[in-house]
Amino acid sequence: MTGPAPATARRSVREVRERVEAVPDPELPVIGLGDLGVVRSVAPAADGVLEVEITPTYLGCPAMPAITAAVRDVLAACGHPDGRVRQVLSPPWTTDRITPEGRRRLTAHGIAPPASLASSASSAPDGPVAVELGAVPCPRCGSRATRPHSPFGPSRCQSVLWCTACREPFPHLTAL
């Protein structure tokens, strides 16, 4: 160790990326932006300025301004005060971008993680009412005796399910 670095020391791209990914999501603070799959890239742009690309979960996600501000703060604290945050829509975010660690953290905090879209592709496409086929296990007791309660929940990305074993509702990150 050579003593504490000054606050404005320019951190490497890898270090910046780690810090950006560790920023907690404003609506789901148990999970970082990296594990949520919102950080697309951290790299110098053509003009040499460090640029962070983020993807909104939903187009109307009200957390985007807060996320953008938090990432800017990280860039400034890492010695990149001129760093840019850019929103990219393509390819669109899906819940399959949530990392295994992210899914583990969600479950640990009582939020059932989304079913994998890749593995649920066999669901009937035009079934009358099914949002997601296959029981979502209860994040508290693990029971699969759960049923949908409300397709819309406390935030846009969450629905509400009911565990018949716990007799309690629980939030579920809707697969999309």
Partner 1 sequence: MTTTSDAPARTAAGTPPAPDGADLAVHLLRLGDDALVLGQRLCQWITRAPTIEEDLALSNIALDLIGHARVLLTRAGRLDGTGRTEDDLAFTRSEREFTNALLTELHNGDFAVTVARQLAYTHYAVLYYEALAGCADAELAAFGARAAKEVAFHRLHADRWTLRLGRGTPESARRMRQGLERVWPYTGELFDEDDVVRRLAASGAVPSPAPLRPEWERRVTEVVTRAGLTVPAGSWRARGGRDGLHTEEFGLLVAELQSVHRRFPGGTW
Nearest of 95, 85, 10, 104 to residue 40 by alpha carbon = 85
Nearest of 156, 106, 97 to residue 136 by alpha carbon = 106
Nearer to partner 1, 24 or 151 (CB): 151
Is 92 an interacting residue with respect to partner 1 (CB under 8 A)? yes
Out of 30, 66, 77, 131, point to the residue binding partner 1 (CB under 8 A).
Answer: 131
Is 49 an interacting residue with respect to partner 1 (CB under 8 A)? no
Out of 6, 7, 128, 167, point to the residue binding partner 1 (CB under 8 A).
Answer: 128
Describe the chain by its helix, strand, coil percentages, rounded to 5: 25, 20, 55
Q: How far apart are the first and last CA of the chain?
A: 46
The least CB distance from residue 20 to partner 1, in Å, is 22
Residues that bind partner 1 (CB under 8 A): 56, 58-62, 89-93, 128-129, 131, 149-154, 156, 160, 174, 176
